[in-house]
Amino acid sequence: MPARCFVLLSALLLFPATLFGQARIPDKPAGAPSEIYRSVVRIEAAVQVPDYSAPWNSGRFGGGIGTGFIIGKNQILTNAHVVSNARRLLVTVHGSPEKYPAKVDFIAHDCDLALLSVEDFSDFDDFPVFKIGGVPELESQVRVIGYPIGGDRLSVTRGVVSRIDYSSYSHSRADQHLVIQIDAAINPGNSGGPVLQDGRVIGVAFQGRRDADNTGYIIPTPVINRFLTDIKDGSYDHYVDLAISTFPLFNPAMRKALQLPADGQGVLISNVISHGTCDGFLKAGDLLVSIDGHPIDSAGQILIDGAKVEFSEIVERKFAGDTVQLRYRSDGVWHDQDIPLKNLPQNQMYAIQYEKQPRYIVFGGLVFQPLDTNLFASESFNDLHVRALYQDYLSKGIFLERPDIVIMTRLLADPINSRLDEFQGMAVDKINGTTVTTLDQAQELLSQTPEKGFHVIEFLGGKRPLVLPADQVADANDRVQRTYEIDQLVNLKE
């Protein structure tokens, strides 16, 4: 499975935030502090979160406070998690009670960044603009500006760069990118705030850890610059991926068996995702030793700008259509291959989705939904077949046969479906003898009149099929719709 897919964050205990501590720096941003502070804005978001347990409902309402900062003409940079699922955004300037309506122009959930604009930027025309800097050195001092704990006044905190690493981004629950750790705590409200060094932005405050004191994380400039470059064409196209899994080669006996020298270089290819970037070039069992001329050590790391990072960082800075040069050994033959990079949309199976409505079908009180991480997080799936389908969706190429894994998630009680509780939480295999591959197809099959007068639904791992009398479904749908106050029995659009 690609490094960016299906990252379990529970062990890391990372969480999106809205404040970071910051470090002391010897100089101040360009302009007087009061001037530059005007360009750090407070963002108030009213949000509506979809309800995957009852997908026909409008979802629950909530709100939160975050921070943003001006980087150009009507361009306010912040975190994606500050504005995700927003129904209303209001921006407040330091020292002013006025609230300015804003909207999201671009949002990147995979790297937790968003770019906003306000309806009327004229009041901001003379505000200073933050400039993007470089990557700070270890032990160097930084300063973070923002609105922690939802406060109405700016807070400035300081910290020291304690680590530069390749780690998890908790907003999507699935992505890993370059991060910078600072020795300052993170509190709700400071997310999206600028992290400064030598008067320039060297990161965006975005998450922290519940299991550690005085530890905060910032999104570094390589990630910021990639986002800003990606959106120049008017759309955000997401990250590309090598779509491979690798295994470290620390063990001397394994290296000897693979006829590798004891030089601490190279990793073993353990899986190649079908239709991914490396499909047709690499295969399981190959040895990967360098990427774009950077030697890969036995832990899968390379040296960039004086720091060791995951070799995927090379790909992180590229776009679909760019090429990456790999040196690898396959079947005893060494290859130096330029490989074109491409997106793998199926990666989204393992990422939390935002700004999308749940897809579902309610049929005779049976609720069908496509499996994804939103659904997986909201339901307790104990069926081993469902868990295996989720786990192996990418690595075993299940998406090629079943773009949607359709699950019967709930049973809304009605006389037509009595004693059918055993099928809840199971994956649909066939409907009326036809293998189900998408939710749209499932709806089409259920809309047809079966030859023998009964809808027969088979489940993966099921001991018996579920059978419904076709001539009673319409009446059952009416009863269920009234009883459970469901406006639409079917939604196939995100």
Return the sign of the alpha-carbon dihedral for residues 171, 175, 179, 184. Answer: positive
Token readout for 478 is 């009416």
- Count Cβ neighbours within 10 Å for each residue of 250-275 and write b for 16 or more, e otherwise: eeeeebeeeebeeeebbbbbebbbbe
DSSP 314-345: HHHT--TT-EEEEEEEETTEEEEEEEE----G
SS3 192: coil
Token readout for 365 is 């009180």
Catalytically annotated residue among 84, 167, 191, 298: 191
> Residues with Cβ < 8 Å from 397, sequence gap 6 or more?
273, 274, 275
d(CA 377, CA 430): 25
Beta bridge partners of 435: 430
Share in percent of the chain as helix, strand, coil (round to 5): 20, 35, 45
Catalytically annotated residue among 110, 112, 241, 372: 112
Token readout for 332 is 């005893």
191 assigned to active site: yes
Number of Cβ atoms within 10 Å of the Cβ of 280? 11
Residue type, 146: G
Token readout for 410 is 């709930």
d(CA 85, CA 329): 46
> Residues with Cβ < 8 Å from 149, sequence gap 6 or more?
18, 19, 187, 188, 189
| Helix (H), strand (E) at residue 195 | strand 194-197
Number of Cβ atoms within 10 Å of the Cβ of 329? 18
Residues making up the chain, counted from first to last = 494
| Helix (H), strand (E) at residue 272 | strand 267-272
SS3 15: strand
Instruction: Report the chain's C-alpha Rg in angstroms.
Output: 25
Scanning the structure block, which residue is given the tokens 């807070």?
A: 155
d(CA 491, CA 369): 10
Catalytically annotated residue among 81, 109, 171, 177: 81
SS3 162: strand
112 assigned to active site: yes
> Residues with Cβ < 8 Å from 233, sequence gap 6 or more?
none
Token readout for 228 is 């800003």
Token readout for 117 is 């604009």
Catalytic residues: 81, 112, 191
